[in-house]
Structure formats: structure tokens, C-alpha cells
């Protein structure tokens, strides 16, 4: 029996601005603002890859690719 695994393309996550700022902005306490995280995401060249990763892996918490949990859920539904 052979198992074929598809390898994901390498993404240089260390280049992402979130990797340089810390996770507290991107995983805030429930009900807290995500404004700072979204601002940082808008400046980041990794944003499209980050959002693609979050959608492909069904990330349910935090800000990924500039979108909150609710925004990603809404995007998945459309």
C-alpha cells in the first residue's frame, strides 16, 4: 500500500508582520477589538497566503489574513 501525501508549499511565515509583533493582537480576548490586528494585516505582504491557509485549515480563532473569525465564516458561506 502506498500513501501519497501532498506537500503544502513552503511559506516564509517569519516574514509575516504578525510573527514580528506577537500574538496578543491576533488572538484577543473574546469581545476585544481586532482593529490593531487588521491594521497590521493590511500592511503585510503575507496576507493573501495567510488567509488562504486559514480557510484551507478551517482556523476558527483569531485574525488571519486580515479577517476575524466571523468574517472568515461569512466568506466560507458565500
User: Was 44 annotated as part of a binding site?
Assistant: yes
In contact, 57 and 77? CB cutoff 8 Å: no
User: Was 18 annotated as part of a binding site?
Assistant: yes
Q: Other CB atoms closer than 10 Å to residue 48's CB: what's the count?
A: 11
In contact, 60 and 70? CB cutoff 8 Å: no
**Residue ranges of the binding site:** 18, 41, 44, 50
**Residue ranges of the binding site for [4Fe-4S] cluster:** 18, 41, 44, 50
Amino acid at each position: 500500500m502506498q500513501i501519497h501525501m501532498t506537500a503544502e508549499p513552503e511559506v516564509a511565515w517569519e516574514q509575516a508582520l504578525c510573527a514580528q509583533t506577537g500574538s496578543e493582537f491576533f488572538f484577543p480576548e473574546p469581545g476585544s477589538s481586532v482593529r490593531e490586528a487588521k491594521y497590521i494585516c493590511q500592511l503585510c505582504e503575507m496576507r493573501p497566503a495567510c488567509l488562504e491557509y486559514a480557510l484551507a485549515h478551517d482556523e476558527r480563532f483569531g485574525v488571519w489574513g486580515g479577517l476575524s473569525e466571523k468574517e472568515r465564516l461569512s466568506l466560507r458561506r458565500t
